[in-house]
Amino acid sequence: MSVRIAPSILSADFAALGEAIAAVERGGADLIHVDVMDGHFVPNITIGPPVVKSLKRIATVPLDVHLMIEEPDRYIDAFADAGAAMMSVHVEVLPHLHRTVYAIKALGVKAGVVINPATAVASLSEIAGDVDYVLVMSVNPGFGGQTFIPRSESKVREVRALLDRAGNGAPVEIDGGIDQRNVGRVVAAGASIIVAGSAVFHTPDPERATRELKAAALGAAAVRR
């Protein structure tokens, strides 16, 4: 199974997002991960549909939009119109998750479901056959630059097994605290979309950091195969 790298622009300079995206695309980024935060579900506030629309104009790879917001149903149309190719929503805020997943798919957007570190993998059991991807949070969402929570590695393995049992080859994405040191482990556990913010943008050369992270991830995937 191949691995895709999704640099998170949360850790980039918001005054120069165009340059940040161009740099990671030169480094081989497969997706651009866009963190949407509302100051309610998570403490931080980031960006909304107008910024996604501008990013869409300049990005040459698909936009992976991670909604860390309450009531995501109110905004999925706007993010789809803005150009999201993938959109993920948190199980923790959705009593009618199945409806939301199908509403996202109906817009022609890949639908992902996200679980926080304290959320059980079992919360995905009834939706595992329906999702286009699952995002395992390996930090508590809200900020870049946090430390990877080690338990996440076995969670990735459990989610991969759950999807396989459901007959769903959908990828497992991992987000939070991923860097050169731990990327091999999470890929070996079954992650195939790798989000990285500070490990890419808090370096002197984001292009090179992307290239190196991707090489490490692909190396681990080759062994997994």
209 binds ligand DX5 (CB under 6 A): no
Position among 27, 61, 66, 75 found at the interface with ligand DX5 (CB under 6 A): 66
Question: Which is the catalytic residue, given 38, 64, 132, 175?
Answer: 175
Between 99 and 151, name the residue whose CB sits nearer to ligand DX5: 151
Q: Residue 225, Cβ neighbours under 10 Å: how many? A: 7
35 binds ligand DX5 (CB under 6 A): yes
Q: Output the CA torsion 145→147→153→154 (10° steps).
A: -130
Residue 225 CA to residue 210 CA, distance in Å, equals 22
Between 65 and 103, name the residue whose CB sits nearer to ligand DX5: 65
Residue 166 CA to residue 174 CA, distance in Å, equals 20
Active site (annotated) includes residue 179:
no
178 binding partner (options Zn ion, ligand DX5, none; Cβ < 5 to 8 Å by kind): ligand DX5
Between 9 and 101, name the residue whose CB sits nearer to ligand DX5: 9
3-class SS shares of the chain: helix, strand, coil, % to 5 = 45, 20, 35
Region for residue 71 given its phi and psi (left: phi exceeds 0; alpha: psi -120 to 50; beta: otherwise): left
Q: Taking Cα atoms as reference points, which of 210, 195, 156, 207 lies closest to residue 33?
A: 195
Contact (Cβ atoms closer than 8 angstroms) between residue 146 and residue 139:
yes
Annotate each residue in 81-120 with x if it binds ligand DX5 (CB under 6 A) or - if it does not, as one string: ----------------------------------------
Position among 20, 30, 33, 101 found at the interface with ligand DX5 (CB under 6 A): 33
Closest approach of Cβ 129 to ligand DX5, in Å? Answer: 25
Residues recognised as catalytic: 35, 175
Q: Which spans of this chain sit near ligand DX5 (rule: CB under 6 A)?
A: 8, 10-11, 33, 35, 66, 139, 141-146, 175-178, 195-199
